[in-house]
Amino acid sequence: MFTRLVPKEAGRVVFSWKKTAWLYVMLVPGLVVGLPALTPQLVLAAIVLAFATLCVGHSVGLHRNVIHGAYRAPRWLVRLMVYLFVHTGLGGPLSWVRLHHYRDHWQSQRRCPPYFAYRHGLVRDYFWNLHLEFRPRDVERYRLPCDVENDPWLQFLERTWAWHVVFGWLVAFALLGLGPAAALVSLRVAASILGHWFVGYVAHKYGERRYTIAGAEEEGRNVWLLGVISFGEGFHNNHHAHPSSAKMGERWWEFDLGWGVVRLLEWLGLVDQVKTSGRGGTLKPGARASAPA
């Protein structure tokens, strides 16, 4: 059915019932029950939870550390941050790391397969990104580093991620009732899934391209507003150019809250060997990035 989205030798793209059901099981009650229940206090609590899960868990923990090794952190801290990531409701940490590697691999080719490229429009991307799933033919080709692949805590969270979200929902329900649980968990998770998808879509299509990346079809774009509200992730051209930099916002006006968290952790003495595109020597050069355009 979706045979032309990736080359046959790479794998196949299939409809994912699990992914689709999870999105709407969060979205529908979130909108019907959670949205009308919102109060200023609940909005504030949801923002705090979004910061802990998306900024600290996803951007600083899983993305900058586990995926790109942008700084060195003790095991317990990485595990704690990945636990926070699980509460975003985006999915299992190991499959998320793998998906990042598939995308990186294919987007760095001169002709990226349709599923990983952005030659299509928003509506099609909504369907492809949030309802379909890539199944690689040769998993060995995308093998994760041993310490990630074999970490028992990450394997446990990979198997049980959805249950932690359900548990969070039950705790909110027991303490605060149905409306607040639907707002703080269902609505927040749905907003995280949709927000993550939307930032990814826009930050590959529109906005500033400071760096050109030789031989890669997808170079990412810097989108200021999305960069600020996505804790730095929307400065995506910077990230394609310097994937192992812990700092996604490179100029003073590119406010990167995730970088603020890394700096705080460094100041507290919890992390070290922080790589940034501004600190020269320690940064592994990005994938064939040229100087700023």
Closest CB 181 distance from Zn ion, rounded Å: 32
Closest CB 104 distance from Zn ion, rounded Å: 7
E strands of 21-127, at which residues? none
Q: Which is nearer to Zn ion, 34 or 220 (CB)?
A: 220
Closest CB 174 distance from Zn ion, rounded Å: 37
Q: Which is nearer to Zn ion, 91 or 168 (CB)?
A: 91
Q: Which residue has the tokens 């592994």?
A: 284
Closest CB 43 distance from Zn ion, rounded Å: 29
Per-position x/- string for 164-203, each x denoting binding to Zn ion as judged by CB under 5 A, each - no binding: ----------------------------------------
CA angle 207, 208, 214 (to 5 degrees): 115
Options 7-15, 119-127, 179-187, 213-221: segment touching Zn ion (CB under 5 A)? 213-221
Contacts (CB under 5 A) with Zn ion, residues 265-284: none
Q: Is the dihedral of CA 44, 47, 49, 55 positive or negative?
A: negative
Q: Which is nearer to Zn ion, 67 or 183 (CB)?
A: 67
Q: Which is nearer to Zn ion, 89 or 220 (CB)?
A: 220
The length of the chain, given as a count of residues: 293
Answer for the pair 30, 183: CB distance below 8 angstroms, yes or no: yes
Closest CB 236 distance from Zn ion, rounded Å: 6
Structure token pair of residue 18: 């699990």
Closest CB 66 distance from Zn ion, rounded Å: 11
Per-position x/- string for 220-239, each x denoting binding to Zn ion as judged by CB under 5 A, each - no binding: x-------------------
Q: Which is nearer to Zn ion, 220 or 232 (CB)?
A: 220
Q: Which residues contact 244 (CB under 8 A, 6 or more apart)?
A: 68, 69, 70, 275, 283, 284, 286
Answer for the pair 204, 220: CB distance below 8 angstroms, yes or no: yes
Count of residues near Zn ion by CB under 5 A: 1
Strand partners, 208: 222
The CB density around residue 158, as the number of other CB atoms within 10 Å, is 18
The CB density around residue 284, as the number of other CB atoms within 10 Å, is 13
Closest CB 129 distance from Zn ion, rounded Å: 12
Q: Which is nearer to Zn ion, 13 or 66 (CB)?
A: 66
Q: How far is C-alpha 243 from the geometric centre of its chain's CA atoms?
A: 13
Residue with the shortest CB distance to Zn ion? 220
User: In a 3-state reduction of DSSP, which class is residue 208?
Assistant: strand
Residues binding Zn ion (CB under 5 A): 220
